[in-house]
Structure 1
Amino acid sequence: MDVKVQKNLLCLSREAAEFGPFDAILELEGEPDALWFYREHVSRGVPCIWRGAVAHWPAVSKWSNDYLRETVGSKEVSVAITPNGYADAVREDLNRFVMPHDQLMPVSQLLDVIERKEDFPGICYLQRQNSNFMEDFAELWKDTDLDIAWASKAFGAQPDAVNLWIGDERAVTSMHKDHYENLYCVVRGEKHFILLPPTDRPLIPHMKYASARYQLDLASREFSVVDEKDHGVIPWIPLDPQKPDLNRWPQYRHAHPLRCTLKAGDMLFLPSMWYHHVSQSQGAIAVNYWYDMAFDMRYAYFQCMDAITDTVAEGNCCAVGDHDIEDEQELSTGKT
């Protein structure tokens, strides 16, 4: 019975991709109509890119490191610090989900570390997702928009959070999903995304990990990993979509990853519940806008699919692999 469930979940992923379009990310130009955007992309959960959407922002031409030092250099902000560039990610050698060491740091020092002007014992990333742009960087508001007007009209609300991201090429965001509609705008450098639709959930391995956090001793320049018992067990994705281990996770070969690169001035609409992995170029800067998702029937369907997938996995069944799909055509036509 469980093998049949696995095969049907595989068919769900494949058929959803056919209805997509999930073969490529649509690229657009110009400001969209709010109704069109909601109808064609939000309601269908389909990502898209607007090339040059925020190229008119003063930030795109002004936000050099010298300008940032002059404008906000003395401001202390919370910076995520790790030994390997992966904050909020799985350390399989420790069987832990490890969060970054958080440290208050002047923006000028963060920029020095990114530029390698300071020999700092860790990789720093401004990535605090608490609407840090609105909370900490009022001096920079004039260089951007505080919301995306046509998106706010489409969603009928202002952004729930606006976040500023500053890092170098070593900082990587491991694959995960968010309960937000995300408009992601690159101000400087490049951002590289790998996206997978929510219907690929049965093909993406999830495991449960004890929580831990990096601690950095500046005197010894060494990191330790300390358990965070208050956070409990965290479900996370151990697979790296940049180099997936298909021997360990053979079902992932049936997934539908989409890759795109955003350059300065570009905007990505990343629908809620889409899985994403993010890497970047040296000194990249971005601003993103999170709008609350609609917790509606689609969310209920996803939760059901998530629960079924977990139940099958907990039954110690093998993952869906090439050897399991001989009857895929029969299942897709409704024959069992």
Structure 2
Amino acid sequence: MELQEKISVPIFTAVEREVFLQDVYPLRRPAVLRGVDLGPCVERWTVEYLGNKGGNRDVKIHVSTEAQMDFLHKNFVYKTLPFNEFVKRASEMNHTDFFLSEDESYYLRSLGEDIRKEPAELNKQFPALADDFHIPPFFEPEQFFSSVFRISSCGLQLWTHYDVMDNLLAQVTGRKRVVLYSPQDALHLYLSGDKSEVLDIDGPDLKRFPEFVKARRYECVLEPGDLLFIPALWFHNTLALQFGVGVNVFWRHLPADSYDKKDPYGNKDPVAAARALQTLERALHCLDELPAEYRDFYGRRMIQRIQKQTHCDEQNTILPSSPLTKPA
């Protein structure tokens, strides 16, 4: 979008663990990591190979006639297909067999065995493919949370959202554009939960979303074999420029008890944050007992108090305590 400030995501080449921990991770900003060894998956994961190795196990997928998938308004349907048939269809632009239309789009986000309790893990859901993918050793093994297998049709765009854990997006095959927004720009993104209501980030309705132009747009194009470091709370929106296969690796960078133990997706707000938001809702209900001018006055005082207590400059972001980080 031309009216937004546009910032290119920096690219680091041949990044090893120490370089990541010392030069990339402490900045708490997105970074493309190029030349990291992801294993033989980059060469092997063709449509034919995936179909043969993945077999005919059923997978639950998203199917949409719209290129811009909208989770808030659900402009897609959930369907089930054998994995090898899904891969075949997702790699095609037009389909002989289809659910909704000849040019429908497909998207797979792998799930745990018990989707209500278990996070996705590549070596459990797709063991025949897992050995091909090497998880970069950029965090401690006990911090690992999930490895999410993703496959999408060419042209498919996923809604803007944030996650509460740090993650690495490995673009194994195909090219993908990723647009990111800083947590500091949250007020310009018209949030509904963890998702932005602005679906079309390239041509937004500025009558509905006039503040969106103030959000700074960080952008990159991932090539096959690239990694993208996405720090927790950074909003991201992806557009598949080609049929593509990727793996998201999430890890707990906060103490384990900071996270909701009943969250298999890793996108529920940390326990303390959820409590604070609930307390805020109760406080707002208390203000409902007052006349409008009093609600306005005390609401402004609350806003001032919250800003004073919590404001953090992006340039002075402080990392949480973690075995990954050392004081400067």
Indicate the TM-score class for this superposition, using the shorter chain for normalisation: 0.5 to 0.7
Query: Where does residue 310 of structure 2 map in the other structure?
Result: none
- Offset at 1:107? 1.5
Whole-Å separation in 1 of the counterparts to 2:189 and 2:232: 17
Q: Which amino acid aligns with 2:250?
A: W
Q: Which residues of 2 match residues 15-164 of structure 1 at below 5 A? A: 23-34=7-18, 36-54=19-37, 57-87=39-69, 89-91=71-73, 98=74, 100-114=76-90, 115=92, 116-120=94-98, 121=100, 122-130=104-112, 131-145=120-134, 147-149=135-137, 151-153=138-140, 157-164=142-149
* CA contact 1:74–1:107 (8 Å) conserved in 2: yes
* CA contact 1:185–1:286 (8 Å) conserved in 2: yes
- Offset at 1:302? 12
- Cα–Cα, structure 1 residues 303 and 52, in superposed 2: closer, same or farther, change >3 Å? farther
Whole-Å separation in 1 of the counterparts to 2:207 and 2:153: 31
Residue 142 of structure 2 aligns to a residue in which SS? coil
- Offset at 1:244? 2.1
Query: Where does residue 153 of structure 2 map in the other structure?
Result: 168
* CA contact 1:182–1:272 (8 Å) conserved in 2: yes
For these two proteins, the number of residue pairs brought into alignment is 253
Asked whether 1:196 is paired with 2:181, we answer: yes
Higher RCO, Cα 8 Å, sep 6+: 1
- Cα–Cα, structure 1 residues 127 and 139, in superposed 2: closer, same or farther, change >3 Å? same
Asked whether 1:238 is paired with 2:223, we answer: no
- Offset at 1:195? 0.4
* CA contact 2:62–2:108 (8 Å) conserved in 1: yes
- Cα–Cα, structure 1 residues 238 and 253, in superposed 2: closer, same or farther, change >3 Å? same
- Cα–Cα, structure 1 residues 79 and 285, in superposed 2: closer, same or farther, change >3 Å? same
- Offset at 1:84? 1.8
1:88-147 per-position Cα deviation (integer Å, ceiling 9, x unaligned):
5233xxxxxx274333311121123222453312432112354152331100112111x3
TM-score (norm 2): 0.67
Whole-Å separation in 1 of the counterparts to 2:130 and 2:29: 29
Greater strand share, structure number: 1
Which consecutive residues of structure 2, in runs of 5 or more, have no partner in the other structure?
Answer: 113-119, 259-269, 297-328
Whole-Å separation in 1 of the counterparts to 2:27 and 2:159: 25
Query: Where does residue 232 of structure 2 map in the other structure?
Result: 272
- Cα–Cα, structure 1 residues 32 and 303, in superposed 2: closer, same or farther, change >3 Å? farther
Residue 41 of structure 2 aligns to a residue in which SS? helix
- Cα–Cα, structure 1 residues 301 and 142, in superposed 2: closer, same or farther, change >3 Å? closer
Query: Where does residue 205 of structure 1 map in the other structure?
Result: 190
Query: Where does residue 177 of structure 1 map in the other structure?
Result: 162
Residue 89 of structure 1 aligns to a residue in which SS? coil
1:163-209 per-position Cα deviation (integer Å, ceiling 9, x unaligned):
111111242210010011110111111111000110001211124xx
- Offset at 1:85? 4.2
Query: Where does residue 262 of structure 1 map in the other structure?
Result: 222
- Cα–Cα, structure 1 residues 140 and 301, in superposed 2: closer, same or farther, change >3 Å? closer
- Offset at 1:246? 2.5
Whole-Å separation in 2 of the counterparts to 1:255 and 1:270: 17
Query: Where does residue 10 of structure 1 map in the other structure?
Result: none
TM-score (norm 1): 0.66
Q: Which amino acid aligns with 1:112?
A: K
1:16-57 per-position Cα deviation (integer Å, ceiling 9, x unaligned):
x9xxxx9432211113333x5334443431111112324x62
Q: Which amino acid aligns with 2:21?
A: Y
The alignment-based identity, stated in percent, is 21
Whole-Å separation in 2 of the counterparts to 1:302 and 1:32: 35
Whole-Å separation in 1 of the counterparts to 2:254 and 2:108: 28
1:307-332 per-position Cα deviation (integer Å, ceiling 9, x unaligned):
79xx8xx9999xxxxxxxxxxxxxxx
Whole-Å separation in 2 of the counterparts to 1:67 and 1:282: 18
Whole-Å separation in 2 of the counterparts to 1:99 and 1:106: 23
Q: Which amino acid aligns with 2:109?
A: Q
* CA contact 2:143–2:252 (8 Å) conserved in 1: no
1:225-279 per-position Cα deviation (integer Å, ceiling 9, x unaligned):
xxxxxxxxx5642113222223332222221111100010111101000011111
* Worse-matched range after superposition: 72-81 or 251-260: 72-81
